[in-house]
Amino acid sequence: MNYILSIETAVEDSSVCLSSGKKIINFKQTISSRDSAAWLHPAISDLIKESNILLKDVAAVAVSAGPGSYTGLRVGMATAKGLCYSLQVPLITISTLKMMAASTAADALASSSDISHLKNNLVCPMIDARRMEVFTAVYDMNMTELLQPQNLILEKDSLKALLDKNFITFFGNGSIKFKHVVQHPNALFINNKFNAEHLVPLAIQAYERRYFTDLAHSEPYYGKEFYSPAPKKIL
């Protein structure tokens, strides 16, 4: 049985998930992303023990690779790489934005009896990047990328060209800011939450197609350079 360990530390709450195929074996989540560094390793240990398997039974490790929380991304990627190196198993890195989009699109398709009306519907995950900036991308229902992942300063007419021709569903913790400024009738908003369970479908695809990431060159996608208000020390 091929077990995949999935790690999500990019969005609000850190979580880990053990799956086999499409079946979720076990799941753990913390309500505070600030505790991800101290929480993650004990959580994985407990997850494995409670699932009645050994860590060496894990066939691959999937990790949400960003954009998102700088600290969370570093903690998640370092943990995933360390496990892959010690277990000698492949690493699967998944765009956080694509994970959010794929989950939302799948929910929409599953809940609709007639998918023809979704032809001109797009999905747009938004992750808060402070002030009026977000990390975002736009996908169609087949996960074709129409706007590549980028950081975007939100204004009233942001994404207007796409909104003029499509309904776009916005979600993620950054979409709240956009909801207050956009006035386009084709802009729709939902309140979705995401965790390591939502990595599983994309992780399965990557594992079956052997889309693995080289350990030596894998790194998070931050979206932009890290900013700290702390003053620099002058030597």
Confidence of residue 223 (pLDDT cuts 50, 70, 90): confident
Confidence of residue 13 (pLDDT cuts 50, 70, 90): confident
Q: Mean pLDDT of all residues in the chain?
A: 90
pLDDT in tens, 142-168: 999 999 999 999 999 999 999 999 999
**pLDDT given at position 110:** 82
pLDDT in tens, 32-42: 656 778 899 99
% pLDDT > 90, the chain: 77
Q: Quick count: other Cβ atoms within 10 Å of Cβ 24? A: 14
Confidence of residue 228 (pLDDT cuts 50, 70, 90): very low
Phi-psi region for residue 204, left (φ > 0), alpha (ψ -120 to 50) or beta?
A: alpha
Q: DSSP letters of 145-175? A: EEEEEEEEE--TTTTHHHHTTSEEEEESTTH
Residues 219 and 107 sit within 8 Å (Cβ to Cβ): no
Using CA atoms, how far residue 38 sits from 21, 49, 104, 164, 199, in Å, is 29, 18, 30, 46, 22
Q: What does DSSP assign to residue 117?
A: G
**Whole-structure pTM value:** 0.90
* C-alpha span between 200 and 233 (Å, rounded): 44
* C-alpha span between 139 and 72 (Å, rounded): 25
Q: The tokens 């699109």 sit on which residue?
A: 105
* C-alpha span between 162 and 168 (Å, rounded): 8
For each of the domains in the chain, give its residue range(s) and CATH number, in order of start. Answer: 3-95+194-209 (3.30.420.40), 96-189 (3.30.420)
**pLDDT given at position 57:** 97
- Please give the distance of CA 9 from its chain centroid, rounded to a whole number: 8
pLDDT in tens, 80-104: 999 999 999 999 999 999 999 999 9
Pull the structure tokens for residue 93: 């890195």
Answer whether residue 139 shows pLDDT above 50: yes
